[in-house]
Structure 1
Amino acid sequence: MIPLSAYWSTFLQTSLALNTLWYGLMLLIYQYFPIGLVPGAVVTILAHFLRAPKPANSRLEKILGKDLHLVGEADTAENNNVLMRTVAHRGAGLDAPENSLIAFKQCATEGCMYIEFDVALTKDGVPVVFHDRTFERVANDKRNLRDLTFKELNSIDIAANHPFKERYEGTRIPTLDATVKQLLADGQKMFIDIKESDYRMVPVINELYQTFPTLYDNAVVTTFFPNIIYAIRKQDPQIVCSLAYRPYFFSNESYSFLTGVGPRRYNSLWKHYLACIVDTVHSWALPRITCHFIGLSVILLHKDCVSPQIIKEWRDRGIRPCVWTINKPVDKHYIHRTLKCTYLTDTLIGENSMNMSDSKYN
């Protein structure tokens, strides 16, 4: 019979051997593979499998044509390629009531074949083309869009405060479906701008592309909210998307280089400072992580935060830069001639850089 002391001796020897092996292994790991790399490696692997890869560049070129900096003026005149130079912001809202069918039709008549418009949801869930939360700016009506049904919108004249209101009296808010049908029929391409971080818009956009499959080669979906782009592209990776960016978007209502930030979005102090943190993280992550994770093809940059260096950095990432909103002729000339960028504008008056159209990239 084996004495009890022999069992204890064997147990202690085995424990000592296992501990020596374990600590030796950990020593090798710490020496040749710093443990601090483990979280980074895990995040990298997860990001690779969870990301939404962007569509092929050939699909982007079907919609927007080649990037302006890749095509010289002589080539442009000779080949007459489709080149997206000018995008009518809200259908050039200074020339006709913004986000209206009549404004989009007027753009087509004047030769502007790229339209940016905004999408929001009514109380009864109808997607309509409208920008603001209320109708105060365009119609002296303080009611909120989300509080009205689509039927109730028919009483609102969005030309009421327009400079040419007599010419456009009785202009109504169109549905998303009616807008897309008209733009496709007129051969116009579009930027569909989602105004809120509302996940109800995800199935709306995905169903829209199923209803109108030609949108894959004729539309870019854009918003300020990367989470919405990610949700849309995870369901349908073939949708070409962009992200709009300006400084202090989440914390303040507006921004201008000359006047600084506008009013706070939140009255609560803690919410405001939390939004400031979100702005800081977002500005850092967008060009380094976010743009690759959500599969951006285009970046819409606020006019007061662009420079030749910033434009080059985005192009080096394989992402097409566009600038918004440019209304002065001298600024249009700089963006187009110097930065070789497309710009969004509220007016086509005096426009001398319209989009060229040909079947090559259609």
Structure 2
Amino acid sequence: MDLEIIAHRGFSVMAPENTLVAFTAALQQGANSIECDLQISADGVPVIFHDATLNRITGTSGTIREKTIAELKQLDAGAWFGEQFAGEGIPTLEEAVAGFKMVKDFLYFDVKPNSEWSDREVDDLGQLLIQEDLLTRSIMTSFNEGFLGKIREFFPEISLGYFITDVSNFEQQLQKAVAVKNAILSVYYPVILEQPQWVEQSRQQGVDLVVWTVDSLEDVKQLRSVGVRRIITNSLIGNFEV
């Protein structure tokens, strides 16, 4: 059974997360897929950024939604990680597309719940993915399930992902995935180590799982032994044996 290695925010132990250099490094080192975070700027441009605020990464106060793309482009998203990455910017999705086309398997987008997207912004996002021939290789996950419903309404062929962070909501999330079809479960990996039967239970209903964020080879071995075949990782990218 092949293992799909998904680079969490790019190769984020080697380069600043969610930057073009991190995505390039992940692909160069052999990642099958890329996971990244999506937010929307004040003027409706999809950008790749994780945090609810800009402070940790850029040293600037405020949020993505409060700033225009011109303002965001003035910020440094690399220097916090290392001096050699100073000047690395917050990428727009459009800027990342050229690299994303080189991805072998899938793009996992985590649309952050920090702000609401208008219908126009959701439509523009889907149209960009269609234009770049990436829609059917994209999996949209979000804690904002209203966003998931909206993008599926606009683009029925897109895949969705439903989060599971603890044992309490497995059945509910599984049934959502079954009902909408063409969906996965995105599961915090210790939950699967605790409930390994969920892997087969989900697959029997036509729903696969991806687990996050795994950085131990021993954990990879355990997850593989219970049938997991999609792993999001910060560090386990490249050639390794499990």
What TM-score do the two structures reach when normalised by structure 2? 0.87
Contact 1:244 1:301 survives alignment (8 Å): yes
The CA distance in 1 between the partners of 2:238 and 2:95, in whole Å, is 29
Change (3 A) 1:189 1:284: closer
Preserved CA contact (<8 Å) 1:229 1:294: no
Instruction: Quote the residue 1:241 is aligned against.
Output: 160
- For 2:123, the equivalent position in structure 1 comes to 203
Q: Which residue of 2 aligns with 1:112?
A: 31
Number of equivalences: 237
Match of 1:332 among 212, 216, 220: 220
Residues 227-247 of structure 1: CA deviation (Å, up to 9, x unaligned)? 322221222221122222213
Instruction: Quote the residue 1:148 is aligned against.
Output: 67
* Residue matched to 1:123: 42
Report the 3-state secondary structure (helix = DSSP H, G, I; strand = E; otherwise coil) of the residue aligned with 2:62: strand
8 Å contact from structure 2 (residues 189, 214) kept in 1: yes
| 2:219 equivalent to 1:301 | no
- After the TM superposition, which residues 14-163 of structure 1 pair with which residues of structure 2 at under 5 Å, given as runs? 71=1, 83-162=2-81
Give the secondary-structure state (helix, strand or coil) at the position aligned to 1:242.
strand
- Check the 8 A contact 1:226/1:294 in 2, yes or no: no
Mapped to 2, the partners of 1:231 and 1:84 lie a distance apart of 31
Larger radius of gyration: 1
The CA distance in 1 between the partners of 2:190 and 2:124, in whole Å, is: 32
Q: 1:169 aligns with which of 82, 86, 106?
A: 86
Are 1:194 and 2:80 an aligned pair? no
Which of the residues 281, 284, 287 maps onto 2:174?
A: 287
- More helix per residue: 1
**1:118 offset after TM fit, Å?**
0.8
Residues 187 and 212 in structure 2, CA contact (< 8 A), matched pair in contact too: yes
Taking the aligned partners of 2:238 and 2:134, their CA distance within structure 1 comes to 30
Counterparts of 2:157 and 2:110, CA distance in 1: 17
| Kept after mapping to 2: 8 A contact 1:127/1:176 | yes
In the alignment, the residues of structure 1 paired with residue 84 and residue 225 of structure 2 have an alpha-carbon distance, to the nearest angstrom, of 35
Using the alignment, how far apart are the partners of 1:246 and 1:233 within structure 2? Answer: 23
**What CA deviation, in whole Å up to 9, does each residue of 1:303-362 have, x standing for no partner?**
2221211212111111011110111221122223443331101113675169xxxxxxxx
Cα distance change of structure 1 residues 199 and 292 upon mapping to structure 2, 3 Å threshold: farther
Instruction: Give the 3-state SS of the residue equivalent to 2:85 in structure 1.
Output: coil
- Are 1:345 and 2:220 an aligned pair? no
Provide the TM-score with structure 1 as the length reference.
0.60
- Kept in 2: contact 1:183–1:189 (CA 8 A): no
